[in-house]
Structure formats: structure tokens, C-alpha cells
Homo-oligomer: A and B are copies of this chain.
Amino acid sequence: MPTATAIRAALANGEMTCEEVARACIERIRERERAVQAWHFFDPDLAIAQARALDRVGQRGPLAGVPVGIKDIIETADMPTEYGSPIFLGARPARDATCVAMARNAGSVVMGKTVTTEFANFTPGKTRNPHDAARTPGGSSSGSAAAVAAGMVPLAIGTQTTASTIRPASFCGIHGYRPTFDDFGCSGVMEASHSLDTIGLFARSLDDIALFRDALLGVESIAIPAETPAPRIGFCRTHLWSRVDPDVQTIIERSVQTLADAGAQVTEVALPADFDEIASIHQRISGFEFTRSLAAEIEHHWNDISERLRAGRIADGHACSYEQYRAACDAAERMRTMLAPIADPFDVLVTAASTGEAPVGLDTTGDASMCLIWTTMYVPALSLPVLRGPNGLPLGLQVIGKRHHDRALFAAARWIENILSYEDAS
């Protein structure tokens, strides 16, 4: 599967038509879907009709002719949206979500709806890891990550409330991007937690991530330079480092050493003890808000909600008083203020994107520890597919930027990729 950037070039040069691009994706889906199960809704005729329409009117827009997958908690006016729940079987929204409308306006072909965990929480869907069908692809944006990793589409949209983009990107060996909080409108994206949710993007190259972001934001596309200066890197294990597989700890530490050897200024960064509470803070905020967002389903469809969701996020939310919730929100805001001067001397922070390779088994989407801090901090993050785990499976390096400095994050990530991809290939 070529990248979106390569597809754009081939289309612009007249080497391919949009229909041919769509057909290549459809072919790939037919080959791999049985093993991967990335799609919740897929109608090849609908995809081809969109591609033909683009061929007819002439391609316009930065994503013209590029197929994208859309996580099924994101609403689409021409396809069902079921939110990973049997409660919404066949539901069809009236409007496209903002990100879907922006993708279409940029010329992309919506290939279908990708599998999400139940309401973007913990109960997995059917999707398997394209690198090993016995392992989870991660979640909650399971289908979006797996579809891109399996070469079914070059781009896909997911969301992140805890680890739902960065973790599956790490497990599936692709690029995942969680933008600065509130940079993108989330209209038409089912809220899990309104003060933590963002959309998330998946792609097969860093250039594609930048292209995709600019298109969905409706701003001029600015390519990341091919060469960027060596960044100042803060290596931040976090207080949750003990959750990281020891072999993976070594792999991450070695990669950071490689970056230092290549000329990056690397400093170890510790977070203040206040951050020890962050998992419970995240749990309170997301639980309280989720039980409000899911109020109708909790009231009227209790039996159609999985036991895991009831006993997990919903029980968390019901156990959390408004005072506890507000205290958690205030604590999170204090930590954001605390993080700024800690991160300030660096261009980026670097850490693991997941606690290990994708675990064996499909009954969990993996450990969220390495992501929930950064999600709660509202900072942008990338998972770069530049590492291999002890079993030879993909492993992401997480690179974390500053709020609203997502382009600077991309520039630093470019340098890191140039070094580590070289290592990997050598």
C-alpha cells in the first residue's frame, strides 16, 4: 500500500485514477479482511461511486482520491454509525461529523466504518492484529489502526480519550497522532469524555500525518522538511515505567541512546510526585463524564451494555461525586501548569508508546499507562513505528510535543525517524 502522499503524486501525474486507487484498496480489503476484521461497515460500491465522482469532476483538495477509514463512533450521513454497540444497530445519522466532512471536502474517499470497542471503551470488537492474528490490535480505535497497518487504506481516523490512538498505532506498527486537545472540533464524534476526547489520526508515514492533519483542520498543507535539526529531547520514563516490559524498557533506553549518539541533546526528565495520582484522576474525569454522555443508554438499554463496561467505566462514574470530579479536573489543570516549565527546555519528550508489544489474546486492548498521562496533559503525541519488540513485533516510540505546537512535534519526529529508521534498516 503506497502512502497518501504517493497516491496523491500518482493521481496528480495521471498515473492512476481515483477509481483505480479505490479498487486497489478494495482488493486488499478482500484479501486481508477475513484475518484482520477491521471493518464494521464496508460497501465497495459506495466507495467506487465516490471515487468515480472524483474522477468525473476532476480531483480537488489535498486528499483528492485518497481512501480513508472512519472509526464507527464517528458519524457519517451515508453509512450507518453503531458506536460499537448493539443498541445502535443500523443507526444512520443525519450529518457527517466535522472531521468526516473535512475529509470529504479535502477530496478523500470514505471507504467505510472501522471497528471500535464498545463506545470507545474497553470491551474489544472483532479486530485482530495484522501482524499476528492471535494478538490484539489495541483499542479503542482497533479497526482504524489495523486497516492502515494491513494496507487496506492509507489513512484512518480514530479517537483518543485514554490511549485509543497511540497504543494501537504502537501495536500495529504504524504512525499514530493524537493532536493537541481541542484543536479539532468533535461535532458528530460520540463523546466518551468531553474534557479528554480528541480525534486521532493513523497513517503509514509522518508526511501523511502532517498532510492529513492540515486537511482535516482546513489549513494550508505545509510539508515537514526532509531534514530537521537535532532536537533537545527530554527522556521521560514516568512513574509508570515499572509497568513497561523489562525487555522493552531496554529497547526504549537503547533507542534514546542512539538518538543521543546521533547528536540529539538528551536529558532524563522526572515528573513531580503529584503525577503519581494521574491514573486515578483520569479515571474520575473519564468515568464521571462518560456516565453523563451515556445517560440514555444506561437508563434504557442496560442489558445491552457489556458487563465489563458496566463494572468498569460506568461503575467508576457512578462512584465519583461531583466534588471528586471537580477536584480531579482541578488537579489535572494544576499538572498541566506544572508540566509546562518541565517540558519547556526540550523540543519534545520521548517515552514508550505502549508497555510492550501487542499482548496475546483478544479479550483486552492492552495497558493504557504510557498514554493516559499525555492525554490528560492535553499535549500532542505521536507513536513512531521505529522499534521492534522482543518477539519481533512492532513497538512505537512515543514523541510528545507542546500544546498547540504540533508542527514542531512533527519536525522533531522527522529527525528521530531519520536516525532510528536508519538503525532499523542497518
Interface set of A (CB-CB < 8 Å, partner B): 77, 81, 88, 91-96, 98, 100-102, 104-105, 182, 185-187, 190-191, 194-195, 217-220, 289, 291-293, 295-296, 299, 321-322, 326, 329-330, 404
Contacts and interface: CB of A to CB of B under 8 A. Distances in A.
This chain: how many copies in the complex?
A: 2
A219 B324 CA distance: 11
15 contacts: A81-B94, A88-B94, A91-B94, A95-B190, A98-B191, A98-B295, A101-B295, A104-B299, A105-B295, A185-B191, A185-B194, A217-B292, A218-B292, A219-B321, A326-B404
A84 B186 CA distance: 20
A187 B182 contact: no
A299 B289 CA distance: 33
Nearest to A322: B219
A207 to B, nearest CB: 19
A296 B101 contact: yes
Contacts of A220: 322
Contacts of A322: 217, 219-220
Contact of A98 (B94, B292, B329, B330): B292
Contacts of A102: 292, 295
A-B pairs, 6 with minimum CB distance? A101-B296, A91-B94, A187-B191, A101-B295, A219-B322, A185-B194
A190 B187 contact: yes
Contacts of A330: 404
Given A293-B185, A322-B217, A93 B94 contact: yes
